DNA sequence: GCCGTTTTCGGCCCGACTGTTTTCAGTCG
């Protein structure tokens, strides 16, 4: 078994032990053992062979045996027995907010609750409020948590949806019957979350395409299988529709099913003003009837651009079709040149195994270089982020030293900047003193705790951090976790103004679970002079690639390359950071 | 389960919030 898989097993063991009400220190021992193993930079096989595994801090006699067994045989009897003793549906209970291992154990022991369904039933029957340590408020919070979970499950993160959709579009294009294929809908508009997938295909022989689609791997249920439209549901709950249209209708169908609905309403109004009626079938004389067999489209549209042109508009990129005056701009002239993936020259705000990342410094730099980045900014957590293994002053100094040696070694062409994601404490002061901050190349300041302050207090707190001269940029401003946790209360326009006044950057956290600050605020903010940085907040080497999701929403926010720090080449960044 | 030692057992572990209590336990980041 590979190192990363073993880390996963150790983490799962710790979860299972927690649910069983085991000694919390034992639980933590498995967590820290997993972390210690993860930060191992050498080859695991070699370390086991040399009998040096036990020398690693956090890995004792018991873990040496278990890790060795997993590495050599892929099996561990202890793990199998533990797994068999806890119902799988019970692990899911840990995903409900305000419900931790202790309460789950109590619910299980006293009421026999072992799943979300049985918890819901018990709450609705009022049985939970009667338990000692629980109450009416807890019961209703749990019910809310369960309800939110259901609502959230109806939508999916863009990244997840795109990962499913992209290979399907490519495969559709490979089919001999298919002329053209695109994914439409909110996925194409690069919305932060996606309800379902819409595939539009141009073909003269729909049937084989339909049959291929409903037979896709991972399809759990076929909810429709017709002549021109089929619907399926994949494992994990994601739904997908496929529409096959004749080639001459493709552009109209793509425009229609890309939306947004509001954008379409505007477009149809515009057509009506010109004596036409626009639909997914074509652009028609408004006085002809849909059931008229001789009805002909006013134009033959090869592409969506042809339709926009006929209506006197420049092509509107899908990301902009949100009915936020994009049609007015398209009427007057061209859009500015928005941010593109290849504009990004490097990324800041990334973690390593020094705090809660899953790859070492060298692994991260290697990956950044493979992506073609000129530079990589490391910003591990600071000490107040105790749960994330935040660095204290001493460990930070050692990391700065290590980075400086790495740069001097000439091993990588990718330059590494030494930074920190320093915690903004409750009163707005920072987790490191100014002289420590001054020793860094740059500083990301983020809120990670006390999320329930009033809007006024939170705003004051964040602005105080922005005003610190050592703070280069503000991290994930609102703290939202898409489909999991709402943003905390904060006066966003006030924070934006303060950032502009203090020449502080506000990051666009590109992690698909955050995409924070929300795209709806950016257009106005950059017009006012705000500078941003597209930050993947990577916790592993794959995470570096998430900057693409940030570029997506940057385009939705009308952000241009000049508004983004990390479109600048290395030399300019050094100047900007005063290095 | 790990660690360290005043060496074989006791300590490991931050700070805030919430809801349940009436001084604290559980959860979260």
Of A210, A289, A284, A300, residue with least CA distance to A247: A300
* Secondary element (H or E) of residue A70: helix A61-73
- Check whether A190 has a pLDDT greater than 90: yes
Q: Cα–Cα distances in Å, from A403 out to A46, A356, A383, A497, A524?
A: 26, 18, 19, 34, 37
A341 CB closer than 7 A to any strand B atom: no
Q: What pLDDT, on a 0 to 100 scale, did the predictor assign at position A290?
A: 66
* Secondary element (H or E) of residue A147: helix A136-153
User: Which residues of A spanning 293-312 put their CB closer than 7 angstroms to strand B?
Assistant: none
Q: What pLDDT, on a 0 to 100 scale, did the predictor assign at position A578?
A: 96
- Homologous superfamily assigned to A3-153: DNA polymerase beta, N-terminal domain-like (1.10.150.110)
* Closest nucleotide to A385: CA versus each C1': B29
Q: What is the 3-state secondary structure (H, E, C) of A99-141?
A: CCHHHHHHHHHHHCCCCHHHHHHHHHCCCCCCCCCCCHHHHHH
- Check whether A100 has a pLDDT greater than 80: yes
Q: B22 C1' – A130 CA distance, angstroms?
A: 19
- Check whether A110 has a pLDDT greater than 80: yes
A448 CB closer than 7 A to any strand B atom: yes
Mean pLDDT, residues A525-554: 96
A135 CB closer than 7 A to any strand B atom: yes
Q: Domains of chain A: which residue ranges?
A: 3-153, 157-257+304-332, 341-576
A500 CB closer than 7 A to any strand B atom: no
Q: What pLDDT, on a 0 to 100 scale, did the predictor assign at position A408?
A: 97
- Check whether A404 has a pLDDT greater than 90: yes
- Check whether A288 has a pLDDT greater than 80: no
- Check whether A292 has a pLDDT greater than 80: no
Mean pLDDT, residues A331-335: 86
The share of chain A scoring above pLDDT 90, in percent, equals: 55
Determine the Cα–Cα distance for residues A478 and A490; give it in Å rounded to an integer: 7
Mean pLDDT, residues A255-280: 88
Exposure class string for A434-452: b at 16+ Cβ within 10 A, else e: eebbeebbbbbbbbbeeee
Q: What is the mean pLDDT of chain A?
A: 90
Task: Give the lowest-confidence range in A139-143, A180-184, A396-400.
Answer: A139-143
Q: B4 C1' – A41 CA distance, angstroms?
A: 26
A289 CB closer than 7 A to any strand B atom: no
Q: B14 C1' – A390 CA distance, angstroms?
A: 11
Q: What pLDDT, on a 0 to 100 scale, did the predictor assign at position A534?
A: 97
In the CATH scheme, what architecture does the domain A341-576 have? Alpha-Beta Barrel (3.20)
C-alpha dihedral sign at A273, A274, A275, A278: negative
Which tokens in the block code for residue A86?
């806890």
CATH fold label, A157-257+304-332:
Beta Polymerase; domain 2 (3.30.460)
A26 CB closer than 7 A to any strand B atom: yes
Please tell me whether the peptide bond between A260 and the residue prior to it is cis, using omega within 30 degrees of 0.
yes
Of A254, A252, A259, A257, residue with least CA distance to A277: A252
Q: What pLDDT, on a 0 to 100 scale, did the predictor assign at position A429?
A: 93
Q: B10 C1' – A527 CA distance, angstroms?
A: 61
* Secondary element (H or E) of residue A224: strand A219-225
| pLDDT band at A220; cut points 50, 70, 90 | confident
Q: Cα–Cα distances in Å, from A514 out to A266, A381, A476, A478?
A: 30, 17, 7, 9
- Check whether A153 has a pLDDT greater than 80: no
Determine the Cα–Cα distance for residues A313 and A307; give it in Å rounded to an integer: 8
Determine the Cα–Cα distance for residues A326 and A267; give it in Å rounded to an integer: 11
- Check whether A389 has a pLDDT greater than 90: no
pLDDT digits (tens, 9 = 90+) for A433-442: 999 999 999 9
A62 CB closer than 7 A to any strand B atom: yes
pLDDT digits (tens, 9 = 90+) for A335-382: 999 999 999 999 999 999 999 898 999 999 999 999 999 999 999 999
Q: What pLDDT, on a 0 to 100 scale, did the predictor assign at position A291?
A: 66
- Check whether A101 has a pLDDT greater than 90: no
* Secondary element (H or E) of residue A495: helix A492-501
CA geometry: angle at A255 spanning A302 and A524, to 5°? 120
Residues A182-188: contacts with CB within 8 Å, 24+ apart?
A182/A254, A184/A254, A184/A257, A184/A258, A184/A259, A185/A257, A185/A258, A185/A259, A186/A259, A186/A260, A187/A158, A187/A161, A187/A162, A188/A258, A188/A318
Determine the Cα–Cα distance for residues A255 and A278; give it in Å rounded to an integer: 10
Q: What is the 3-state secondary structure (H, E, C) of A474-486?
A: ECCCCCCECCCEC
Q: B27 C1' – A102 CA distance, angstroms?
A: 9
A140 CB closer than 7 A to any strand B atom: no
Q: Cβ of A177: how many Cβ atoms within 10 Å? A: 16
Q: Cβ of A203: how many Cβ atoms within 10 Å? A: 23
A60 CB closer than 7 A to any strand B atom: yes
Which tokens in the block code for residue A330?
């398209």
Q: Which residue has the higher pLDDT, A260 or A565?
A: A565
Same CATH topology for A3-153 and A157-257+304-332: the answer is no
Three-class SS of residue A413?
coil
Helices (H), A259-392: 261-273, 304-310, 326-332, 361-370
- Check whether A170 has a pLDDT greater than 90: yes
Q: B23 C1' – A106 CA distance, angstroms?
A: 22
Residue at the smallest CA–C1' distance to nucleotide B20: A133
Pairing type for strands A239-245 and A229-234 reads: antiparallel
Nucleotides of B under 7 A from a protein CB: 1-4, 11-21, 25-29
A64 CB closer than 7 A to any strand B atom: yes
C-alpha dihedral sign at A47, A52, A53, A57: negative
- Check whether A497 has a pLDDT greater than 90: yes
pLDDT digits (tens, 9 = 90+) for A8-57: 899 889 888 888 888 888 888 898 888 888 777 778 888 899 888 888 88
Q: B11 C1' – A23 CA distance, angstroms?
A: 13
- Check whether A213 has a pLDDT greater than 70: yes
């Amino acid at each position: 078994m590979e190192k990363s898989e073993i880390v996963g097993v150790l983490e799962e063991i710790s979860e299972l032990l927690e649910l069983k009400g085991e000694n919390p220190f034992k639980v933590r021992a498995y967590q820290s053992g997993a972390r210690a193993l993860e930060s191992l930079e050498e080859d695991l096989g070699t370390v086991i062979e040399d009998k040096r595994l036990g020398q690693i801090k956090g890995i004792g006699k018991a873990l040496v045996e278990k890790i060795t067994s997993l590495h050599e045989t892929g099996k561990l009897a202890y793990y199998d027995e533990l797994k068999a003793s806890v119902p799988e549906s019970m692990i899911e209970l840990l995903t409900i907010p305000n419900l931790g291992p202790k309460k789950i154990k109590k619910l299980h022991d006293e009421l026999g609750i072992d799943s979300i369904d049985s918890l819901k039933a018990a709450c609705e029957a009022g049985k939970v409020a009667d338990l000692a340590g629980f109450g009416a408020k807890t019961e209703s919070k749990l019910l809310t948590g369960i309800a939110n979970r259901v609502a959230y499950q109806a939508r999916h993160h863009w990244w997840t949806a795109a990962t499913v959709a992209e290979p399907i579009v490519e495969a559709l294009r490979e089919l001999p019957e298919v002329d053209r294929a695109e994914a439409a809908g909110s996925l194409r508009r690069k919305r932060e979350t996606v309800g379902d997938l819409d595939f539009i295909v141009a073909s003269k022989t729909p049937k084989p395409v339909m049959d291929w689609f409903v037979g896709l791997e991972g399809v759990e249920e076929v909810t429709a299988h017709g002549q021109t439209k089929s619907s399926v549901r994949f494992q994990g709950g994601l739904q997908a529709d496929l529409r096959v249209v004749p080639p001459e209708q493709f552009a109209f169908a793509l425009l229609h099913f890309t939306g947004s609905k509001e954008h379409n309403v505007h477009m149809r109004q515009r057509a009506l003003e010109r004596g036409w009626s626009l639909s997914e079938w074509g652009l028609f004389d408004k006085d002809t009837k849909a059931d008229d067999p001789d009805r002909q489209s006013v134009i033959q549209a090869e592409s969506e651009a042809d339709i926009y042109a006929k209506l006197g508009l420049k092509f509107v990129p899908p990301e902009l079709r949100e009915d936020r005056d994009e049609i007015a701009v398209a009427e007057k002239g061209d859009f500015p040149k928005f941010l593109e993936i290849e504009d990004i020259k490097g990324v800041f705000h990334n973690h390593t195994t020094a705090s809660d990342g899953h790859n070492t410094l060298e692994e991260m730099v290697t990956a950044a270089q493979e992506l073609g980045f000129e530079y990589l900014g490391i910003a591990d957590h600071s000490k107040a982020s105790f749960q994330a293994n935040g660095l204290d002053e001493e460990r930070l100094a050692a990391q700065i030293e290590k980075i400086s040696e790495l740069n001097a070694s000439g091993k990588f062409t990718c330059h590494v900047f030494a930074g920190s994601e320093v915690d903004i404490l409750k009163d707005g002061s920072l987790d490191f003193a100014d002289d420590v901050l001054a020793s860094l190349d740059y500083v990301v300041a983020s809120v990670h705790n006390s999320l329930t302050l009033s809007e006024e207090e939170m705003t004051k707190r964040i602005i105080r951090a922005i005003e610190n001269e050592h703070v280069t940029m503000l991290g994930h401003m609102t703290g939202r976790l898409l489909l999991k946790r709402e943003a905390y209360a904060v006066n966003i326009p006030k924070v934006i103004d303060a950032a502009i006044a203090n020449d502080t950057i506000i990051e666009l956290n590109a992690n698909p679970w955050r995409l924070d600050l929300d795209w709806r605020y950016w257009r106005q903010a950059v017009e006012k002079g705000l500078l941003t940085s597209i930050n993947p907040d990577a916790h592993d080497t794959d995470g570096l690639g998430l900057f693409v999701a940030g570029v997506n929403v940057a385009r939705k926010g009308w952000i241009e390359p000049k508004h983004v720090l990390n479109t600048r080449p290395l030399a300019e960044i050094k100047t900007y950071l005063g290095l």
